[in-house]
Amino acid sequence: MASRPLKAVLTVAAAAAFSLTAVPAQADDLDPSVWTELSHTYGATGAYAYEPYAVADGFAPTACAPGTGYRYVNQANVGQTDAEKPAALLYEDGPYGRRLIGVEWVVKAESGAAAPAMFGQTFQQPVELPEVGSSYTLRAWIYKTNPSGLFSPTHADVTCSADSDSDSDANSNADADADSIPDLDLDLGLIPDLDDLIPDLNLDV
C-alpha cells in the first residue's frame, strides 16, 4: 500500500504532466510570449495540485463562490504582478478532494491608481474580496480549460456543492486530504532484479 508521501509525489507528478498538455488546449490566439510567461506560473504552482501544500505555504482557504470556486489567498503575494507569485489559487471540489483549476493575481485598488496589466491583459475592475478589500484582479484558468477564455473573470463550469457554504468546511487539513486520495497498490515484484539484467563480465586483468 502506498505511503502518504508517495501519494503526494504521484499527485504532483500528475499535475506536472497535465500542465504540459494544458497549453494547447485553450490557445485563445494569445501571443506566444504569454505562454512563455505562464510557463513560470505553471512551475511555481504545479505542486499545489496537492492542496495541503498550498495551505502549508500560506494560502488560506475561503468559502466557495460559483464561477470562481474556493479562493486560497496568500497575503504575502497580494500586490504582486509577478508571474510566479499569484495572490490566490482557485480550487473546486473533485472526486478525491480539492482540485486546482486556476490562479489569480490581486492588487489593492488604491485611490486614483489605474488598473495594472499582465500577459497583455488589463486587470478586472475593483471588487470587494474577503480580508483584502477593494482590489483589481486577474484570473488565469491554466488548470481547467475555460470556454469563455483563459483570462475570463468567471468559469461557467465551476459550481459549489451544497455543503461548501462555510469557511470552516474549506479549512481541510493535510491528513484528511491525503486520506481522500485512493491508495495505490504497487506490486514491487514486477520490477526485475538488476542482477538479472546485467550480464556477468569475465574480465582478465
Q: Which residue, 7, 167, 159, 18, is CA-closest to 93? A: 159
Nine-digit cell string for 143: 488548470
Q: Which residue, 45, 189, 55, 28, is CA-closest to 121? A: 28
The yes-or-no verdict on residue 76 having pLDDT over 90 is: yes
The yes-or-no verdict on residue 159 having pLDDT over 50 is: yes
Nine-digit cell string for 93: 471540489
Per-residue model confidence as pLDDT tens digits over 85-94:
999 999 999 9
Percent of the chain residues topping a pLDDT of 70: 65
pLDDT at residue 164 in the model: 60
